[in-house]
Amino acid sequence: MNFKLNERFFTILVVFLGICTAIVITPHNKFFLSNFLYYWGPQGIILCILYFVRINLGVIIGSSLIMTLHLVAYDIWISRPSDAMAWLGYFFSIPGTLVGALVFGLFIKKYPYKSSLFISLGGAFSTFVGIGVIQLYLCCTLLYCGFKCLG
């Protein structure tokens, strides 16, 4: 199936959605810029790395969408100021997005597909798996996430 998206337009749209999401959830006080950079800065760095490695834009679309949803999920989970240290879990789980997106992006470079939808969904899934693996490791070692880990 050959389903092509306007990848450049959707990439800009999804990245802009991530920036807007970070702006909305960032507390609007004198620390706005530093908090905004903490929330969206790692995403921006990962997206720049993916772009400069020349990963398919479909992978960047999926990766950016999952990173934005990850940020929203953490914001919902960490809603009390007393849980501020749990944001370190967000920060430390971000490298999983890079690993997941790079693995799928390099796979797509080697075995090119024509379907932009497949590439975007694959990028989203691989990014989700990367975040999930790192988050599970964090929950079993540094953070208490409310469930018992093996071992």
- Provide the residue-wise pLDDT of the chain in tens; the chain has 151 residues: 555 668 888 999 999 999 999 999 988 888 888 889 988 999 999 999 999 999 989 999 999 999 999 999 888 877 765 666 777 778 888 899 999 999 999 998 888 777 888 899 999 999 999 998 988 888 787 776 666 676 5
C-beta contacts of 132-137 below 8 A and 24+ residues apart? 132/96, 133/96, 134/92, 134/93, 134/95, 134/96, 135/89, 135/93, 135/96
Q: Which residues of 73-101 are buried (b: 16+ CB within 10 A; e: fewer)?
A: ebbeebeeeeeeeebebbebbbebbbbbb
Determine the pLDDT at residue 112: 76
Determine the pLDDT at residue 141: 79
Determine the pLDDT at residue 81: 59
Whether the CB-CB separation of 105 and 56 falls below 8 Å is answered with yes
Whether the CB-CB separation of 58 and 101 falls below 8 Å is answered with no
Q: What is the pLDDT of residues 48-73, one digit of tens each?
A: 999 999 998 999 999 999 999 999 98
